[in-house]
Chains A and B, each alone.
Chain A
Amino acid sequence: AQSVTQLGSHVSVSEGALVLLRCNYSSSVPPYLFWYVQYPNQGLQLLLKYTTGATLVKGINGFEAEFKKSETSFHLTKPSAHMSDAAEYFCAVSDGSGGGADGLTFGKGTHLIIQP
């Protein structure tokens, strides 16, 4: 079984400040890791994903995340927050054992608040 823990249900940062959203996972096999953003009453938009290869992954809108196996973490960062970044962020994991037929396990989400 796999699980995802997102520390902090709410994170508040000032506009222009560093954004750090934490995600830790547990998986019995090498995981595939994802970060999604959700705006109110909308579906999910993929920010970035890690499958194999380079552990520092760059995504859309200036976000990036680093896979650290030793820490079982996949924290999301952005150097400078923008007001449009205010949204709900979900970390998700899949172990890939289903050959692509397995769904994602999501964390509880982190609500990012941007202070002007």
Chain B
Amino acid sequence: GAVVSQHPSWVICKSGTSVKIECRSLDFQATTMFWYRQFPKQSLMLMATSNEGSKATYEQGVEKDKFLINHASLTLSTLTVTSAHPEDSSFYICSARDFRSVWWNYGYTFGSGTRLTVV
């Protein structure tokens, strides 16, 4: 089946530094990838949608200069949290749209998430 690998699974960084999170589709081509943020004991909030080879579309309220998204290939999207601060600490999850899915199959596959702690 479709597998999405997300790395790292957890990271601790100092305030003011940048952190990169990778999301890879291992056995399928993902034309579209999604990045979500989840606060403790809360739901997932869509941050942005990235399409291979084009700029990401950010949801309202998400700072595009802080959360840089690059979708350089059909199997890799990266999220870089720039100049991280403690309030950026959260669980970040990526999701990939299976290129093979026809519209009524509508498959999404999620990565295992990245726990970011900024100290």
- Chain A contact residues, CB within 8 Å of chain B: 32, 34, 36, 41-46, 49, 51-52, 90, 94, 96, 99-109
Contacts and interface: CB of A to CB of B under 8 A. Distances in A.
A42 B105 CA distance: 24
Interface in B5-61: 6, 32, 34, 36, 42-46, 49, 51
Contacts of A34: 108
A42 B46 contact: no
Contact of B43 (A99, A102, A107): A107
B43 A51 contact: no
B84 interface: no
Given A41-B113, A41-B115, A109 B43 contact: yes
B46 A103 contact: yes
Interface string B75-117: 0000000000000000101010100010111101111110100
Contacts of A36: 110
Contacts, number: 62
Contact of B106 (A42, A51, A105, A109): A51
Contacts of A96: 103, 106
Contacts of B109: 46
A43 B43 contact: no
A105 B105 contact: no
Nearest to B99: A100
Nearest to A91: B43
Given A43-B111, A100-B32, A90 B43 contact: yes
A43 B101 contact: no
Given A42-B112, A46-B108, A100 B42 contact: no
Contacts of B104: 51-52
A58 B113 CA distance: 26
Nearest to B94: A43
A89 to B, nearest CB: 11
A96 B108 CA distance: 12
Nearest to A50: B106
Contacts of A100: 32, 97, 101, 103, 106
B95 A103 contact: yes
B103 A106 contact: no
Q: Which of A99, A101, A107 has its CB near the most chain B CB atoms (within 10 A)?
A: A101
